[in-house]
Amino acid sequence: MTTRPLPYSNRVLMVSPPSSLPTHDDRKTRLERLGRVAGVGFLFALFGVGGLILAGVVIPLAARRGADARALVAQRWIQRTLALYLAVGTRIRIWEIHAEGVEQLRATGQLVIANHPSLLDVVLLLSFMPQADCVVKKTAWSNPMLRSIVGIAGYIPNDDGPQLVDACAERLAAGRSVILFPEGSRSPQRGLRAFQRGAAQVALKAGCPILPVRLDCQPPALKRGQPWYQLPPEVLRFSLRVGRPVHAKEVTRADAPRAIAARKLTKWMQDHFESEQRDAVA
């Protein structure tokens, strides 16, 4: 007896779904990424709102004091505001902050130098420093929202050459701390930029301790040339590692010509941070 095949209409066809269709995990990852982008967008907006509050409420109160006292009050409020801002970002799981030795950042009269891997670096440093003078781009002085903040806080305009060195050295001589990024701008995708000599010249002129701080962001994000919305799927891990204070006389001879001493001190700075990066990878 011959068995006839079932009619076509009664056959069960097993068709595999195209591999290009998104899976449940793909959709979940995409939603998580969109959520993180929205979270970072919210934090940028929050940063702007915080700036408006500082400019409109806190800073006018500080303006009633003398110039030096006014700057110190403004810097203290900036530190508190930025610490709260970072806490919000930690709370909503955009980033986490790991800090080592940051109590040294509260000392006065020191030149704080750091590498510059991300857009958030100066925010991280200022959040741990009740008093800190930093160098601000000229564009900030023409920004309606930022102009009043950087002005009343006594921040230093980024004028090239001897004027910038003199301004930083004067603050240090007065017992105030100054933040400088020897690379000049954010680090490239890999490694460090060649360090400029300005930080070394400031340290030599002021005769102050140099406090190196290694900053890192893993996975890399908010780097130079990288749009803020291009984020990795995982939580960003920002870390600060504060080294020991170093005096220029530990690196170069006191009687060395200033140009040679600045070159040698700059090389020490570059070597120190490159060594820190190698140790972190190892």
The domains of the chain are located at: 34-281
Angle ∠(198,201,207) on CA atoms, nearest 5: 135
CATH assignment of 34-281?
A: 3.40.1130
Q: For residues 237 and 87, what is the distance between their CA atoms, to the nearest angstrom? A: 13
Whole-structure pTM value: 0.85
- β-bridge pairing 178-180 and 111-114: parallel
- β-bridge pairing 178-180 and 210-218: unpaired
Give the pLDDT of the chain (282 residues) as one tens digit per residue. Answer: 555 554 544 544 454 555 555 565 566 667 667 777 787 778 877 777 777 777 676 666 666 677 788 889 889 989 999 999 999 999 999 999 999 999 999 999 999 999 999 999 999 999 999 999 999 988 888 877 778 888 888 999 987 778 999 999 999 999 999 999 999 999 998 899 999 999 999 999 999 999 999 999 999 999 988 887 788 888 999 999 999 999 999 999 988 999 999 999 999 999 999 999 888 776
What φ, ψ does residue 5 adopt, rounded to 5°? -65, 150
